[in-house]
C-alpha cells in the first residue's frame, strides 16, 4: 500500500497529466496507482476526473478551446483504459446505461464524444451509435438495451430538427426514458418544446453538465464508501 | 417606396452607398420547401441537377422578394472535387443536406495532398457554374446572385476528421498550415470559376474557426493569413462568415480583407459596431431557425428591427435558412424592411 503522501503524489500526477494533456504521464500514473495499491476508483475520480474538472474551468475561462479539450480527453482515456479493468463496482444507487449518437445528416461527433467520455468515466454502459445515425436506430437501440437515457446530438441547425421525431417516438414507446439533446443550435426552448429532459448547447455546457453529473457520482461514491465503513 | 432592384441594392450596399431600404439577403443557402413544392422537386435531388438547382434558388426571391438568389445549397462541392464522396440521402423522406461519406485524408501521413490539375472540371463544380448561368438567365439583372465557398480550415474539416484536424492544429501546426495553403489554392480556383459564371458576390464560410471551437490566437496565426490570401484574389465583393462566438475575433475578421463580415445571433452587434466604426459592413444576425422557422410573424418583425437597431448593415441570417420556413414569416421579414 502506498503511503498517504505517495497516494496524493500519484493522484496529483494523474490530475496534471489530464490538465497538461500528457498521455504518457497519464499511463504512467495509472500504472503506478495499480502497482502501488491506490484504489482504481480513487485514481479515476480523485485523479483523472479532478483533472477534467480543472480543464472544464480552463475551458470556461476561454484559456482552453476544443483542441485542448480533445487532447485532455485523450490523456484521460489513456489512464482510464489501464484503470478500468480493475475497478470494483460500487453501488452508487444508479444503474446506468445510455444510448448516444449524432443524428442522421450530421457527421459531427466531437460534442457527443465529450459527453460520452463522462459516461465512460462514470461506469455507464455506453451504446455509442456513432454519427449520421438513422433516426429509427435510436429507438430500436433503446428498446433493445432498455437504457434509461438517450443522448442525441446535432451540430448543425440543418440536422437538429430530426431530433424532434426521435424524441416523440422514444416517449411514445417508453415514457420513462430520459432524453438529453445537445449541439450548437439547441436551446432550452427547443428542449422544452420537443419534450427533452435536458440539453447542452455547446461544448462548455456539455462538459459542465457531464462534470456535474460525474461530480455528483463522486459524492455518491464517497457516501457509499462511508456507509461501507459504518457496517 | 422601393426605387431600386434587389441587385442594385446589394451592389450599392457593397460599395458603401445608401439604398432605398435596408437590404435583406443572404450569402448562404436559402432553398425553401415552399419553392420546392411549387416546382415539385425533391430536396435530395436539386443538388445534382443544374436546372433544378437554379430553378429552386430563384424561387426564394420570386416568392418572397428576398434580395438575393444563392446557390448551391450544400457544403460539399469543393470537398467532392478534391476527391471526397458525398451522401445526398436519396432515400430519406426528411430534409437532409448532403454530407461527406468518405474523407480524402484518413491519417496524419495522408495530409500531403495533391490538388488535381483538372480540379475545376471535377465533381459538381461545372454543375454549379451551369446553375449560376441558368439562374442569371431566369431572373436577369434584377436580383443579386451569390454563391459561397468554405474557408480553408472548414474545408480541411470536410476532407479529414475534424477531431484530428483540431488536435494537429496544436501538435503539428506546420503540417496543418501546409494543408490550408493547398486548400486556399482550391478555394481561389473555384471562386474564379463562379466569378466567370457571373456571381455578384461570394461568401467564404469559415465556421470551423469560431471561438466556440478554436482560440483567437490560433485563428490569427494559423487561419487568418490564408483568408487574407483568398480575399486578395477575389474580384467580386466578398463576405467572411463565421458563426458562434465571434466578438473576440471581429477585428481579425475585418483584417482578412473581406468586403463585409457576417456574424450570427451569438454576436453582440452593438459591441461589434462600436469596435469597427460606422463604415464597416456587418451582416447579420438573426437566428434562422428559432426566429424564422419556429417563431411567429411578430417575433420575426421584432427580431429584424432589433438587428437594424443594433447596427447591422444588412439583415442576413446566421446560417442557411432552413427550408420549412413558413411563408408568413418570410413575408413578415420582408415587410419589416419597408418600415
Q: A33-76, pLDDT tens digit by residue?
A: 999 999 998 999 899 989 988 998 898 899 999 899 999 999 99
Q: DSSP secondary structure string, B314-337?
A: EEEESSPPPTT--HHHHHHHHHHH
Rounded Cα–Cα distance for residues B288 and B70 (Å): 15
Rounded Cα–Cα distance for residues A216 and B196 (Å): 60
Residue A203 has a pLDDT of: 59
Q: Are B94 and A162 inside 8 Å of each other by CB?
A: yes
Query: Residue A215 pLDDT more than 80?
Result: no
Question: Which of B235 and B210 is assigned the larger pLDDT?
Answer: B235
Q: Are B170 and A67 inside 8 Å of each other by CB?
A: yes
Residue B320 has a pLDDT of: 93
The total number of structural domains that make up chain A:
2
Asked if residue A84 and residue A123 are part of one domain, the reply reads: no
CATH classification of the domain holding A46? 1.10.1240.10
DSSP 3-state assignment of B242?
coil
Residue A165 has a pLDDT of: 86
DSSP 3-state assignment of B296?
coil
Domain containing B109 equals 25-337
Residue B300 has a pLDDT of: 98
A110 lies in some domain: yes
Q: Are B244 and A110 inside 8 Å of each other by CB?
A: no
Average the pLDDT over A118-144 and give the result: 89
Q: A81-100, pLDDT tens digit by residue?
A: 999 888 876 555 555 788 99
Instruction: Note whether A187 contacts B: Cβ–Cβ < 8 A.
Output: yes
Average the pLDDT over A178-194 and give the result: 81
A231 lies in some domain: no
Instruction: Note whether B97 contacts A: Cβ–Cβ < 8 A.
Output: yes
B186 lies in some domain: yes
Neighbours of B117 (CB within 10 A): 8
Measured between beta carbons, the chain B residues lying within 8 angstroms of A165 are 94
Rounded Cα–Cα distance for residues B69 and B5 (Å): 13
Residue in chain A closest to B169 (alpha carbons) equals A67
Measured between beta carbons, the chain A residues lying within 8 angstroms of B324 are 161
B2 lies in some domain: no
Q: How far is CA B289 from CA A114, A156, B268, in A?
A: 25, 11, 18
From A88, A117, A152, the end of a domain falls on: A88
Residue A185 has a pLDDT of: 72
The total number of structural domains that make up chain B:
1
A215 lies in some domain: no
Q: How many CA atoms lie within 13 A of B67 on its CB side?
A: 31
Residue in chain A closest to B207 (alpha carbons) equals A156
Domain containing A46 equals 4-88
Phi-psi category of residue A210: left, alpha or beta, with phi > 0 → left and psi -120 to 50 → alpha: alpha
Average the pLDDT over B99-103 and give the result: 93
Q: B155-172, pLDDT tens digit by residue?
A: 999 999 999 999 999 999
Asked if residue A196 and residue A117 are part of one domain, the reply reads: yes
Asked if residue A15 and residue A109 are part of one domain, the reply reads: no
Residue B238 has a pLDDT of: 98
Give the lowest-confidence range in A153-162, A213-222, B30-39: A213-222
Asked if residue A121 and residue A73 are part of one domain, the reply reads: no
Asked if residue A55 and residue A9 are part of one domain, the reply reads: yes
A213 lies in some domain: no
Percent of chain B at pLDDT > 90 equals: 91
Residue A206 has a pLDDT of: 67
CATH classification of the domain holding B84? 3.20.20.210
Give the lowest-confidence range in A18-22, A34-38, A202-206, B220-224: A202-206
Average the pLDDT over A153-159 and give the result: 76
Q: Can you tell me which residue has the cell 465512460?
A: A120
List b or e across B175-206, with b for residues whose CB sees 16 or more CB atoms inside 10 angstroms: ebbebbebbbbbbbbbbebbbebebbbbbbbb
Asked if residue A103 and residue A198 are part of one domain, the reply reads: yes
Give the lowest-confidence range in A168-182, B55-69, B130-144, B271-285: A168-182
Residue A153 has a pLDDT of: 87
Residue A94 has a pLDDT of: 57
Average the pLDDT over A202-215 and give the result: 66
Amino acid at each position: 500500500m502506498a503511503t498517504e503522501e505517495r497516494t496524493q503524489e500519484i493522484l496529483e500526477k494523474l490530475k496534471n497529466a489530464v490538465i497538461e494533456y500528457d498521455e504518457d504521464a497519464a499511463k504512467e500514473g495509472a500504472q503506478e496507482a495499480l502497482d502501488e495499491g491506490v484504489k482504481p476508483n480513487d485514481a479515476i475520480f480523485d485523479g483523472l476526473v479532478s483533472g477534467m474538472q480543472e480543464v472544464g474551468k480552463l475551458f470556461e475561462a476561454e484559456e482552453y478551446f476544443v483542441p485542448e479539450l480533445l487532447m485532455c480527453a485523450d490523456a484521460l482515456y489513456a489512464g482510464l483504459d489501464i484503470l478500468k479493468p480493475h475497478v470494483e463496482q460500487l453501488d452508487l444507487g444508479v444503474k446506468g446505461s445510455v444510448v448516444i449518437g449524432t443524428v442522421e445528416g450530421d457527421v459531427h461527433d466531437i460534442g457527443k464524444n465529450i459527453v460520452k467520455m463522462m459516461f465512460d468515466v462514470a461506469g455507464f454502459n455506453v451504446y455509442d451509435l456513432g454519427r449520421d445515425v438513422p433516426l429509427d436506430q435510436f429507438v430500436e437501440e433503446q428498446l433493445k438495451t432498455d437504457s434509461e437515457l438517450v443522448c442525441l446530438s446535432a451540430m448543425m441547425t440543418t440536422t437538429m430538427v430530426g431530433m424532434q421525431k426521435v424524441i416523440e417516438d422514444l416517449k411514445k414507446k417508453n415514457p420513462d426514458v430520459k432524453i438529453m439533446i445537445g449541439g450548437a443550435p439547441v436551446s432550452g426552448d427547443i428542449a422544452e418544446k420537443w419534450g427533452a429532459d435536458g440539453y447542452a448547447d455547446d461544448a462548455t455546457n456539455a462538459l459542465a453538465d457531464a462534470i456535474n453529473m460525474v461530480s455528483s457520482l463522486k459524492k455518491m461514491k464517497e457516501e457509499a464508501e462511508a456507509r461501507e465503513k459504518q457496517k | 417606396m422601393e426605387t431600386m432592384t434587389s441587385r442594385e441594392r446589394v451592389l450599392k450596399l457593397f460599395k458603401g452607398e445608401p439604398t432605398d431600404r435596408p437590404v435583406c439577403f443572404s450569402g448562404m443557402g436559402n432553398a425553401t420547401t415552399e419553392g420546392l413544392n411549387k416546382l415539385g422537386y425533391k430536396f435530395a435531388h436539386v443538388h445534382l441537377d443544374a436546372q433544378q438547382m437554379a430553378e429552386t434558388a430563384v424561387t426564394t426571391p420570386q416568392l418572397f422578394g428576398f434580395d438575393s438568389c444563392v446557390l448551391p445549397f450544400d457544403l460539399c462541392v469543393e470537398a467532392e472535387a478534391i476527391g471526397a464522396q458525398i451522401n445526398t440521402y436519396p432515400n430519406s423522406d426528411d430534409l437532409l443536406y448532403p454530407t461527406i461519406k468518405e474523407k480524402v485524408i484518413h491519417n496524419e501521413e495522408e495530409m500531403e495532398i495533391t490538388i488535381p490539375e483538372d480540379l475545376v472540371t471535377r465533381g459538381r463544380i461545372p454543375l454549379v457554374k451551369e446553375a449560376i448561368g441558368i439562374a442569371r438567365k431566369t431572373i436577369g439583372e434584377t436580383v443579386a446572385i451569390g454563391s459561397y465557398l468554405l474557408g480553408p480550415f472548414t474545408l480541411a474539416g470536410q476532407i479529414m476528421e475534424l477531431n484530428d484536424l483540431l488536435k494537429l492544429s496544436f501538435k503539428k501546426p506546420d503540417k496543418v498550415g501546409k494543408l490550408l495553403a493547398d486548400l486556399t489554392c482550391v478555394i481561389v480556383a473555384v471562386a474564379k470559376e463562379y466569378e466567370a459564371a457571373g456571381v455578384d458576390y461570394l461568401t467564404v464560410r469559415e465556421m470551423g474557426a469560431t471561438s466556440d471551437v478554436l482560440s483567437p490566437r490560433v485563428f490569427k496565426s494559423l487561419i487568418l493569413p490564408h483568408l487574407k490570401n483568398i480575399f486578395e484574389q477575389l474580384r467580386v465583393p466578398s463576405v467572411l462568415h463565421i458563426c458562434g462566438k465571434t466578438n473576440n475575433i471581429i477585428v481579425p475578421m475585418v483584417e482578412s480583407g473581406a468586403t463585409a463580415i457576417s456574424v450570427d445571433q451569438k454576436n453582440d452587434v452593438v459591441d461589434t459596431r462600436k469596435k469597427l466604426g460606422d463604415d464597416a459592413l456587418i451582416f447579420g444576425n438573426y437566428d434562422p431557425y428559432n426566429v424564422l422557422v419556429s417563431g411567429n410573424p411578430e417575433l420575426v418583425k421584432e427580431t429584424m428591427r432589433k438587428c437594424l437597431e443594433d447596427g447591422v448593415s444588412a439583415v442576413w441570417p446566421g446560417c442557411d435558412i432552413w427550408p420549412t420556413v413558413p411563408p408568413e414569416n418570410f413575408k413578415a421579414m420582408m415587410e419589416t424592411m419597408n418600415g
